[in-house]
Structure 1
Amino acid sequence: MTSSRHAPHWLFDLDDTLHHAGAAVFPMINEYMTSYICRHVSVARTEADTLRTEYWQRYGATLAGLQRHHGIAPHHFLAQTHPMESLLPLIETSTQLPQWLRCLNGRKWVFSNGPQHYVEAIVRHLGIEAQIEDCFGMDSFGLMPKPRVAAYTRVLRQAGLDAGRCIMVEDSAANLKTAKRLGMRTVWLSHQIRKPAWVDWRITSLLDLRRI
């Protein structure tokens, strides 16, 4: 067992890392976002869907494009498009995850592009709040989404962390590229065979972290 003085600091992404969001949660959030754009940008549904995707691809978050081009109020958008009473029932829980995190040596944080209320609610829903030092959602680090460097540096500063002691665990290789530039070690949760040069370890299950 590594002593606490030398134990790593773990930065975990949330969606599709600590829980599987792709099958049900993301489609529902996308639907809420498209409906929101229809109402508040006053465009037809087809155009709203195009804008949602285009802004996400160009800026890393749909919200960033809506702020820049349409003056959308960020906190209103995040609250309206992430209603937890609808989303939490879609998220499966497991007794294995809290137990596994307890056994993983080192301190742990959650660092997500989701809004703060969403991140905190899911961490509670998963039953892992006792294992997590703190949660960082996008509105807690200046609404600058990963992979922007400013998001990482702000989280590191708020948590009082040295990048050199951090291991970041993500399903997004692009987000890990910034982490590596800042001096973190990187773990990519993926079934892809080839891994980019900035990824230190590729795993297919969180349980594989035990061998790192």
Structure 2
Amino acid sequence: MKKTLTESVAVANAIARANLFASRDPRTRIFSDRQWLTPFVGGSYQFLDGAERLLDARMLFFYYATGITPAMSEAKPGTGSAYAVALRDSAGEYLDGGRTYQVDLPGPIPAKDFWSFTVYDNQTRSLLPTDQKLAGIDSTLPDIKKNADGGATVWFGPKPPPGEETNWVQTMPDKGYNVLLRLYGPLEPWFDQTWRPGDFKLQPSIM
């Protein structure tokens, strides 16, 4: 029995991990031309579609996160929060902690309150441990550089590009990671998709 249960845990973990990191559900895609995914397939915090319980969608969310509220899955313009997950770069390859990526958030960014990027370890699904104080970056930081249109360019990699230290998020060469974009107080351009965040674009290595 112990052997059977031990094997069952390993298989269940593999199923849940594949369901998150390689979902075959097209409803996880937020945009047809981008890699960003939603953790809220079906748009219900109870993962219900009428009388149907969306078991794969619920498994995907709770393997990635630990708690949910109605406001998280049912945000409306100007209230609540909106979420988008990046697992892969613009070419469809999984994000590599030893490589450098550039992400453009065109302006104006549709967040009434603020926006943030948070970096998570693929293995533990907890915050990525790095030498930085924060595992991410957000628009409340006083030194973050904005582009002329009010947007921002953010860099992810082991080392910052020269002159981009304030807009850089550290990653680790020996760890895979994923990124969660949060918009607090999301505005209409997010909902009607007239605003779209850029994908992670692989850049030359920085020595």
- Write 1 or 2 for the structure with the bigger share of strand: 2
TM-score by length of 2: 0.25
- Write 1 or 2 for the structure with the bigger share of helix: 1
- Greater relative CO, 1 or 2 (CA 8 Å, sep 6+): 2
TM-score by length of 1: 0.25
